[in-house]
Amino acid sequence: MSLIVTGSIGIDTIETPAGRRDNVIGGSSIYFAYAASFFTAVRLVGAVGDDCPPEVFDIFRDRPVDTAGLEVRKGSRTFRWHGSYLSDINQAQTLKVDLNVLAERAPAIPPQFRDSRYVFLANTHPLLQQQLLAEFPRCDLAVADTMNLWIQNEPQELRRLLGRIHGLVLNDAEARMLTDRTNLIQAAREVLKMGPRFVVIKKGEHGCLMCSADDLFVLPAFPAEQVVDPTGAGDSFAGGMMGHLAAAGGYSPAELRRALAYGTIIASFTISDFSLGGLLRLTRQEIDDRWRQFAAALQF
């Protein structure tokens, strides 16, 4: 089934206890699209400036990712983010951010993309997410990501978005902020009252929680002895999750559980190297091998 992602494409500078990397490829839609491409074909929509390094256009060359929606804007500059994990490997500290092209109009949706049935609205302004969602009248599953900035500054637009989507992905701190609930199960149930049919709460090294009207599911993270760079782990998680759901053609409770496990596995590879390094070397066979190892470890 057709899967499309809209979101940021950026240039990152990253500092972690494992080292520092300057001007590496980043952005929510980049991580998502690469992760999802292990499961299904992906359509990518996003905008960059004319300063965007050529590597961005090469990374999907051997992947089933259609970049017809990748827009290069003359006179604009690409989104840039400088983050540090030196004080806490589980929490990024933003040292500098230049929205650049992300502060401009939303990217155009190519006409051939408008029949997309599975839509992921990666983190951006909730008003833009609503505008983009309106471009897909045949959508069967729409899932969005969000962040604390929009919860704090755009609560009304975020509430409107939540009334129009099927699923929401956010982290534990954001879930507590959105609902004013400390207990994550209570927080998840409050989110359901806002409109989505299911909510996925990411808990970093502690895994994730999924809640719907019919199911409550908690999954641990895949054990990692060393974390090199957590950047993009959440977006890769979402890519693995949505990639599996699009390939499966539905989001029953059973498929959602499998999707969360695949997302967890993909994220465990992402954190093993800086930027996309952990995904660029990855094969579907390695994903399936780790899936079986993960499944075996959860049986008791």
Structure confidence by residue, pLDDT tens digits, 115-142: 999 999 998 889 889 999 999 999 999 9
Give the pLDDT score at 1. 62
Q: What is the pLDDT of residue 273?
A: 96
Position 112: which residue type? Q
Give the bridge partners for 94, in sequence order: 83
pLDDT at 105: 87
SS3 content of the chain, % helix, strand, coil (to 5): 40, 25, 35
Q: Which is it for strands 10-16 and 19-26: parallel, antiparallel or unpaired?
A: antiparallel
d(CA 196, CA 181): 17
Which residues, other chains included, contact 270 with Cβ-Cβ below 8 Å and sequence gap of 6+? Answer: 31, 35, 232, 233, 236, 276, 278, 279
Q: How far apart are CA 256 and CA 233, in angstroms?
A: 18
What integer pLDDT is reported at residue 300 of this predicted model? 82
Q: Is there a contact between 129 and 161 (Cβ–Cβ < 8 Å)? A: yes
Q: How far apart are CA 37 and CA 262, in angstroms?
A: 12
**For the chain, domain boundaries:** 3-295
Please, what are the averages of pLDDT over each run of 10 residues along the chain (300 residues)? 90 96 94 97 96 88 95 95 92 89 90 96 88 93 91 93 97 95 97 97 94 94 92 95 96 94 97 96 96 91
Distance CA(127)–CA(213), nearest Å, equals 27
Distance CA 225, CA 53 (A): 33
In one-letter notation, the amino acid at residue 30 is: I
Close Cβ partners of 205 (under 8 Å, ≥ 6 residues apart): 90, 221, 224, 227
Characterize 245-273 residue by residue with b for buried, 16 or more Cβ atoms within 10 angstroms of its Cβ, and e for exposed.
bbbbeebeeeebebbbbbbbbbbbbbbbb
Instruction: Give the chain's length.
Output: 300
- pLDDT for 92 equals 87
Report the pLDDT value the prediction gives residue 149, as an integer from 0 to 100: 80
Backbone phi, psi, residue 122, to 5°: -65, 165
List beta partners, residue 73: 49
SS (H, E, C) 80-119: EEEEECCCCCCCCEEEEEECHHHHCCCCCCCHHHCCCCEE
Please tell me the class of the 3-295 domain: alpha beta
